[in-house]
Amino acid sequence: MAGHTNIPPLESSVPIPGPYTRQLSYDQSKVSLTSPSTPNYTSDLKNPVVGTDETETNGSEKDGKPDEKKKSGAKRELSVLIFLRHSRIYIRVLAIMIMIISFSLILAAVVKYDQAKKAPGRPLDAVPKPPLGITDYPCRVFTGVAAMNLVLSIVILSLSFISSKFRKSVNAINAVFAVLGAVGFATSMGTCFFLKEINLKSDLWKWSCDNHSNDISSPALDFEVICHVVDYGWKFGLVQASLELLTFIVSITAFLLLKYSYFARYGAVGKIF
């Protein structure tokens, strides 16, 4: 019987893991952006997949022709929109100045005539008048409409500078200025036509011009001055009406150009207002 020999145990090639000493955590795990399991979006953006829009864009950038055309077209549209926006403000400021001049001239003629009627001795009674008398109603209508347009223009211009919401909404600015230009043009042309073409020989303007042409004078009222003052007020009213029309055209052009740029970029015109 063979003797029993003590054979040393073979060393295992797999180490025995030690006891797990960490406790289970229920906190929200924080994944590092640099860990291998997290995709690197920066490298993906730097190395786009072949055949996608990014590679086509990069290829066009290398060529330099299509991308430059797009950038130049976008810059040109932006510069035109900025020019229209600034020109609209300048036109509105100029229209306000013209309105003030026109309103002041016609109002000065009306005030001067009222003072002449109340002069001591009533010297205007010796001046020949039509059977129905003299009326300054057309001049008063002109001053009333001019004052209304002046207040509206000042309010809208102040709102475009003060209100940040209104200033940021390009559609609202275009719509408001277009409506303001249309209303201003219609009312200004209407009052100018009413003041010039009304079939009355007894209104202040025609009566003063007729007396001046007939060499009729009065110590209480200078008919030549009244005739020229009302005439210049009427001419400034025509200038103001033309500026209102220009404001309307600029606003409509800016609105259409903005919608065209939206459609060219996104395929839709977006909200109307």
Q: Express each pLDDT in 214-248 by its tens digit.
A: 888 888 899 999 999 999 999 999 999 999 999 99
Cα 199 → chain centroid: 40
- Mean pLDDT of all residues in 150-161: 88
The contacts of residue 67 (CB under 8 Å, 6+ apart) are 57, 60, 61
Between residues 119 and 8, which one has the greater pLDDT?
Answer: 119
- Mean pLDDT of all residues in 90-109: 93
Count the domains in the chain: 1
pTM reported for the whole predicted model:
0.66
Say how many C-beta atoms besides its own lie within 10 A of residue 241's C-beta. 24
Q: Within a domain: residue 99? A: yes
Is pLDDT above 90 for 170? Answer: no
Q: Within a domain: residue 221? A: yes
Residue 177: pLDDT band with limits 50, 70, 90: confident
The contacts of residue 58 (CB under 8 Å, 6+ apart) are 48
The contacts of residue 61 (CB under 8 Å, 6+ apart) are 67
Say how many C-beta atoms besides its own lie within 10 A of residue 194's C-beta. 14
Q: Assess contact for 202 and 130: CB atoms under 8 A.
A: yes
Cα 172 → chain centroid: 7
Q: Within a domain: residue 197? A: yes
Q: Within a domain: residue 124? A: yes
Beta bridge pairs of residue 135: 203
Residue 200: pLDDT band with limits 50, 70, 90: low
* Per-position DSSP letters for 130-162, written without gaps between them: -TT--B-HHHHHHHHHHHHHHHHHHHHHHHHHH
Range of the domain at 123: 74-266
Task: Tell me the per-residue pLDDT of 114-125, one tens digit each, with 9 for 90 and over.
Answer: 998 888 888 888
Q: Within a domain: residue 86? A: yes
Per DSSP, the three-state class of 135 is strand
Q: Within a domain: residue 91? A: yes
Q: Within a domain: residue 89? A: yes
Per DSSP, the three-state class of 7 is coil
pLDDT at 196: 83
How high does pLDDT run on average in the chain? 74
Measure Cα distances from 41 to 38, 46, 56 in Å.
Answer: 9, 8, 19
Q: Within a domain: residue 157? A: yes
